[in-house]
Amino acid sequence: MRQVSDVKESYEIGSKSNIDQPNQELPEDVLPDFRSFLMYFHWECHHTAETILSAMALGIGLSDENHFRPTNPGHNNQLRLLHYPPVPVADVEQHLSTEMGAHSDRGSIIMLFQDDCGGLQIEDPHNPGVFINVPPPKDEVVMNVGDLMIRWVNDALKSTVHRVTLPPKQDRFTGDEHMTRARYSVPHFVSPEGQSVVECLPSCADEKPPAKYKPIE
């Protein structure tokens, strides 16, 4: 079997109340204000996520727009800083390395901030195996539905399979060595509390379609 390596570096932080995954703090004198800014940004992202979750609750027909708040209070969220360092374009074209392989994210919803490099793709839900470019929107956030949310809503929403690959051809490399440009992205993963039971919402299941997934904790 040929090994395909994912080439990236990441740093993650979450709520200080998450004692199962304590933050690995950088010393304050190494990057002054880094910690406090990241904590501020983490909670700003969560507040925006709460608004999105409220819109989703109304969109799927719940009468309580705050339905997802008690199970998603933010203490199990993760803010991930991602750096995809330059790699030879030929390695990616020959499938010796990839930026990030195809996957769906686990939690409730995911908000993704990215620079202008491009390379993010989603799988066409109607054509498995066919990937579509998601051009980097300026000053916008890309939002994905996570694997736990689809259990709540009984597949009324889909969790998006996505991957990161080479940017479009005209912008694929820099320099004589044909290296990719460094890419930076910041996903914020919103996940339910560890003790929450994720089970099909009554309004999303009747005989047609019945609940497709068992409750999980």
Ligand X SMILES: O=C(O)CCC(=O)C(=O)O
Which spans of this chain sit near ligand X (rule: CB under 6 A)? 80, 82, 100, 105, 112, 114, 120, 162, 164, 185, 187
**Shortest reach from residue 63's CB to ligand X, in Å:** 33
**Shortest reach from residue 76's CB to ligand X, in Å:** 16
Tokens of 137: 């929107």
Residue 80's binding partner out of Fe ion, ligand X, none, with CB under 5 to 8 Å set by partner kind:
ligand X
Contact code string over 98-137 relative to Fe ion, x by CB under 5 A? -------x--------------------------------
**CB closer to ligand X out of 61 and 101:** 101
Mode of pairing for the β-strands spanning 5-6 and 97-98: parallel
* Binding of residue 50 to Fe ion (CB under 5 A): no
CA–CA dist 82, 93 (Å, integer): 21
Of 112, 110, 84, nearest to 99 by C-alpha is: 84
CA–CA dist 144, 122 (Å, integer): 10
Residue 189 near residue 80, CB atoms below 8 Å: yes
User: Which residues of this chain interact with Fe ion, rule CB under 5 A?
Assistant: 105
